[in-house]
Structure 1
Amino acid sequence: MNVINVNEASKRKHVPLETGIPASLKLSDLTARVAEVAAIAAAHAGAVDRDARFPIEAITAAKKNRLLGVLVPTEFGGDGAEIHDVMDMCFALGRACSATAMIIAMHHVKVACITRHGRGTAWMENMMRAIADDQLLMGSSTTEGNNGGNVRSSAAAAEVADGKFSLLRDASVISYGAECDGIVTTARRAIDAASSDQVLVVLRKADYDLEITQGWEVMGMRGTRSTGFKLKAEGLAEQVLVESYDKIHKESMVPYAHLVWGSAWTGISASAVDKAQAFLRKVARSANGVMPPGAVHFGKAKATLNRARALLTSMGDYFHRIKDDKSALASLEFQAAISSLKIEVSDLAVETVLATLRANGLSGYRNDGEFSVSRELRDVLSSPLMIHNDRIAANMATANLMAAVPTSLRA
C-alpha cells in the first residue's frame, strides 16, 4: 500500500514562511511579482513536461512572492485581490508553464470558496490567515471513481458527530495531491443524504492520509500530477462549510473555475501565437519579406486568441458586478453565460494552437526547436475535457428550456 503520511510533518513546531517580502503588499506590486514567477516557470517548463514532475521551482517562487494568498481579504492578511487580478496572473503563467498556471488557478478556486463562504466561522477565518501567512497551496478533490467527473454528485459522506467529522473518499483525481498543503473536498452531507446533497470540507495536511490508487501518465498537463488517491480524513466539525455546496458551486466554484481556468488556457494559446509570430518574422526576413504559405493561419490564430480574451474580460466584468448578489449569481442567465464561457474559451484555445501549428509547419510540429508548439497543443487539448464540454452542454440544454426568450434587443 502506497501511503503518503503527512501527519508527523504537520505536527512539527510551526515556523512562519520566510519570503523576504512583507505580508502586506499593495496590489500595485502584483504584476512584478507574477512576472518574476513566470520567468522561473518558463525556465523549467520543458523539464516539468518531460519528466511529468511537479513544478517545484515555480511554486516555491509563487510562495516567495506571496501569490497564494492574494484573494484572502486584507483583514486576514491577504491582498484582497479581485477576480481580474487572478485572471491576469493565470494568463501570464499560462504563457510560461501550463502546469504552473493550472495549479495556481485550481488553488485560487479553492481559496475563493473559503474566503467567500467561510466568514463568521473562527476555524475558516484562521484558515484564511494561514493561507496568507504561510502561503499554503490548496488542492482540490471534487471527482470520485464512480461519478464520471460529475462534481455535483458525491459518494463519500462526511460523518459528523460530537463536534468532529470523518471522511473516507476514493478520489479518482487530486491534482498535485501529494504536493499540496491542504485539500478542499466535496462530500455528501451525511450517510443518509442524497448524492447531490453536498458539503465542502477544508482539510489541513495534519487531517488526512493519502493512498495512491492511480498514476498520471498522460498526453499533456503532465506537471499537474493529477494522481488518484484514497483520502482518509478526520477533523473538527467547523471544517465543514456551513453553506450548502449547491450554493457554493453556483456562487463561487463555477464562476472562479471557468474564469481562471479559461485565463490559463488562453495564456497557453498566447504562448503558441508568440512562437508563430517569431517563426514567420524569421522566415520573412530570410526571404526578403515573402511570407510562407502557412502565414494565413497566423491571422486566424490571432483572431481566435483575441476572441477568447474579449470573452474572458467581458465575463470577468459581469461576475465582478454581481459577485455579492446571490440572486443574480444563481440566475439561469448568469449560469448559462458562465457555462458557455468555459465551452467557448476552451474550444478557442484549441483552435488557436492548431492554427499556430499550421502556421509554423514542420517547425511547429517538431518536439525540439524554438518554434515547437507541441507542448502547448498537448496541454491545451485538456481544456475541453476538464469538466467535459459535452456534460456542460447537456446540463445547459435542460436549463435553457426554463429560461425566458428575450422580447427586445436590449433587455
Structure 2
Amino acid sequence: MSDLLQRARRVGAEVAARHASAVDADARFPRESFAALKAEKLLGVMVPAEFGGAGASIPEILSLCHALGQHCASTAMIYAMHQIQVACIVRHGQQSPWHRQLLQRLAGEQLLLASATSEAGVGGDVRSSVCAVEVEGQRLKVSKNATVISYGADADGILVTARRTPDSPASDQVIVAVLKGDYRLEQTSSWDTLGMRGTCSNGYWLHAAGDVAQILPLPYADISAQTMLPTSHLTWSSLWLGIATDAVARARTFVRAEARKKPGSTPPGALRLAESMNLLQHMKSNVVAAARQYEAALGSAERLTALSFAVAMNNLKIGTSQMAVQVVNHALLICGISGYRNDSEFSVGRHLRDAHSAALMVSNDRILANTANLLLVLKDDPGLFP
C-alpha cells in the first residue's frame, strides 16, 4: 500500500467517517476532513515533484477518491472535483509562468480549487458560455451567473469558463484561474438536496478580475476533451465505487452476523450478497480498465480526442453511476430494516441517497445523447483487445 493511500485511509476512517452524518444532516462543508487532508498534504499530490508535489499518477488519485468514498461521499466528491481542476493546471499550465507559480502554491499551501463551468442560460451545456472575458490592457474581468459552484464559499480558488471575448461564439471558451482576492461571490440559490449534501453546491453570481496571464493557454474545448472530461468520469466513478464498496461491506457484516446466530445454515441474504459482489467486481473492472486506457493515451492529443476514447469515458460514467445505485440497493435489501434505519450500524440510507446523485451530476441523458451522436460516425471495433 502506498504512503498516499495509507494517509487517505487514515483521514477517511478517523475523520471523515466520524463527521459524515453531521455533514449530511446539516448540509455543511466537511471542514474537519479537509483540515485533515491539508495536514496530510493530500490536496497537492498531483502536482509534479519539481513544483513541490508528489507527482501522483491517475491510478493513485483514483485510489484516494475510492478510499474517501467509503467513509464520506461528500468529502470524496469535493476531493475529486478539486483534483480535476488540479489536473487541468498540471497538464495545460506548465508553459505559463503564472500557472507554474500556482502549481507551487497548490503544493505548498494546499489550496482547494473549485470550478465554475455551469451557467444560467445555456441549458446545462458546459461547452457553451454566455459570459465573456473582457480585457483592457493586461487586466481582465468576467462576471458569470453560475448555477452551481460546489463548495465555492470554502474554496481558495475557482477555475472559471467563459467566452474568449465578448464577440466570440458561445463555444469558443477559455478557462480563467482566479484566487481568493480576485473574485467575490453573491449567492443566488441554496443546496438542500436528497444526497451529496456536504458539497454545498450553491449558485452564485461570480465577479472576478485579474491578469490576462491567469487564462490557461489552451482552449477549453481541448482541455475538456483531453483532461477535464476523462478525469471527471474516472474520479467520480472511483468515489461511487467507494460508496458501493462500503455498502457491500456492511451487508457482508450483516450476513455473517446472521450466520453466527444459526450455525450450519445459509442466511437468506447470502445469495444476494454474492450477486452484489459480482456487480461490485464489474464496477471495479470498468474503473481499472478505463484508468489504464487513459494512462496509455496520455501524451497523445490524437488518442485523447479520438471518438472511441470519448465513448469509452462516457460509458464508464453511465455504467458506474447506474451500478452504484443497484449495488447499494442490494445491500439495503440484504440488511432489511437494519439497513433502512438511520441509527443502525448497518444503515445504508446515506449511501443510497448519495449514489442517486451519480446519474444527475452531469445528466446521464445528456451524456447518452452525446454518445449517440458519436456512434453515428464511429467505426465498429470487432476486436477483443485494442
TM-score (norm 2): 0.97
Contact 1:294/1:361 (CA < 8 Å) preserved in 2?
no
Residues 93-136 of structure 1: per-residue CA shift (max 9 Å, x gap): 00011010000000000000011000111100000000000000
Residues 51-89 of structure 1: per-residue CA shift (max 9 Å, x gap): 111111110000000001111111111111110010000
Range with greater deviation from structure 2 (31-40 or 335-344): 31-40
> How much is the aligned-residue C-alpha RMSD, in angstroms?
1.3
Give the counterpart of 1:386 among 361, 364, 379.
361
Q: Which residue of 2 aligns with 1:9?
A: none
Q: In the alignment, does 2:3 pair up with 1:29?
A: yes
Percent identical pairs in the alignment equals: 45
Give the counterpart of 1:301 among 272, 276, 293.
276
Range with greater deviation from structure 2 (149-158 or 389-398): 149-158
Q: Which residue of 2 aligns with 1:38?
A: 12
Measured in 2, the distance between the counterparts of 1:331 and 1:314 equals 17
Give the counterpart of 1:372 among 338, 347, 351.
347
Q: In the alignment, does 2:161 pair up with 1:186?
A: yes
Residue type of the alignment partner of 1:385: L
Residue type of the alignment partner of 1:161: E
Q: Which residue of 2 aligns with 1:113?
A: 88
Q: Which residue of 2 aligns with 1:399?
A: 374
Measured in 2, the distance between the counterparts of 1:223 and 1:246 equals 30
Residue type of the alignment partner of 2:251: A
Q: What SS does structure 2 have at the residue aligned with 1:193? A: coil
Residues 316-337 of structure 1: per-residue CA shift (max 9 Å, x gap): 0111111110000000111111
Q: Which residue of 2 aligns with 1:150?
A: 125
Residues 201-280 of structure 1 aligned to structure 2 (within 5 Å): 201-280=176-255
Give the counterpart of 1:130 among 105, 112, 115.
105
Residues 357-382 of structure 1: per-residue CA shift (max 9 Å, x gap): 11111111112210110000000100
Residues 335-392 of structure 1: per-residue CA shift (max 9 Å, x gap): 1111111101111111110111111111111122101100000001000111111100
| Structure 1: runs of 5+ lacking an equivalent | 1-26
Measured in 2, the distance between the counterparts of 1:217 and 1:110 equals 25
Q: What SS does structure 1 have at the residue aligned with 2:70? A: helix
Give the drift of 1:192: 1.2
Measured in 1, the distance between the counterparts of 2:245 and 2:17 equals 14
Q: In the alignment, does 2:115 pair up with 1:140?
A: yes
Give the drift of 1:407: 5.7
Q: Which residue of 1 aligns with 2:174?
A: 199
TM-score (norm 1): 0.92
Q: What SS does structure 2 have at the residue aligned with 1:31? A: helix
Residues 192-236 of structure 1: per-residue CA shift (max 9 Å, x gap): 111111111101011000001101100000111111111000000
Give the drift of 1:141: 1.0
Measured in 2, the distance between the counterparts of 1:95 and 1:389 equals 23
| Structure 2: runs of 5+ lacking an equivalent | none
Measured in 1, the distance between the counterparts of 2:384 and 2:249 equals 38
Q: Which residue of 2 aligns with 1:313?
A: 288
Measured in 2, the distance between the counterparts of 1:321 and 1:194 equals 34
Give the drift of 1:410: 5.2
Give the counterpart of 2:332 among 354, 357, 362.
357
Residue type of the alignment partner of 1:102: M
Contact 1:296/1:359 (CA < 8 Å) preserved in 2?
no
Contact 1:172/1:227 (CA < 8 Å) preserved in 2?
yes
Residue type of the alignment partner of 1:370: E
Q: In the alignment, does 2:24 pair up with 1:86?
A: no
Residue type of the alignment partner of 1:336: V
Q: What SS does structure 1 have at the residue aligned with 2:376? A: helix
Give the counterpart of 1:334 among 287, 299, 309.
309
Give the drift of 1:296: 2.4
Residues 276-320 of structure 1: per-residue CA shift (max 9 Å, x gap): 011111111112243343332212211111111111011101111
